[in-house]
Amino acid sequence: IREDDLTKNDLCQLIQRGAFKNFVNGFHDVIKMINDTNSTRLSDSEQSFFAKCIVGNKLNILRRIKQGDPTVVNDLAKEGIQGNNRYNFSFASKFCTYMSRYHFGEKDKFMPYDKVLQNVLPYYAWAYCRKDEVKNFKQKKVMKTILR
């Protein structure tokens, strides 16, 4: 995510306004903006479900994000299944990334997962590294192997 530290984007401002009010109005607007700007494809009912879920566990989720606990992403994604929705790792990773960056000022604790990037990254790695074939990059090798 490329960001200009001198200007705050709309999502950053929305999260910081919410934090100022201790997220009393919940997280629905934050989730909607993440969905709209990142194409996480959450339906309106999924957005409402995740907002209620996060509000219900707000202190625990925010504490885990602040600590950089990577298991919070998977736990949040799994909540969708319990709500008769779908497992949405992409949304959960983006939510944790943006909350970590814009609420806690931590830029390196979480990274957004994106399936498009997952599918395209091996081609860029091959184009710049040329040490392996694209099909081998797609076999979920450890990043150290790619960077050698």
The two tokens of residue 129 are: 């590294």
Rounded-to-integer distance, Cα 104 and Cα 102, Å? 6
- Provide CB contacts within 8 A for 111, sequence distance 6+: 93, 97
Read off the pLDDT of each residue in 42-59 and give the average, rounded to a whole number: 93
Whether residue 84 is predicted with pLDDT greater than 90 in this model: the reply is no
From CA 9, how far away is CA 75, in angstroms rounded?
28
Asked if 88 and 42 touch (Cβ cutoff 8 Å), the reply is: yes
pLDDT band at residue 143 under the 50/70/90 scheme: very low
Residue 80 has pLDDT above 50, yes or no: yes
- Whether 148 has a pLDDT exceeding 50, the answer reads no
Report yes or no: 144 and 131 within 8 Å, Cβ to Cβ: no
DSSP state of 132: S
138 against 143, higher pLDDT: 138
Residue bearing the bigger pLDDT, 65 or 130: 65
> From CA 113, how far away is CA 103, in angstroms rounded?
19
Identify whether the C-beta of residue 57 lies closer than 8 Å to the C-beta of residue 96. Answer: no
Query: What's the rounded Cα separation, in Å, for the pair 80 and 145?
Result: 33
Mean pLDDT, residues 100-115? 90
Provide, rounded to the nearest whole percent, the portion of the chain with pLDDT above 70: 78
Residue appearing with tokens 């490329």: 2
Q: Answer yes or no: is pLDDT of 15 > 90.
A: yes
- Report the C-alpha gap between 12 and 14 in whole angstroms: 5
Please, are residues 25 and 64 in contact by the beta-carbon 8 Å criterion?
no
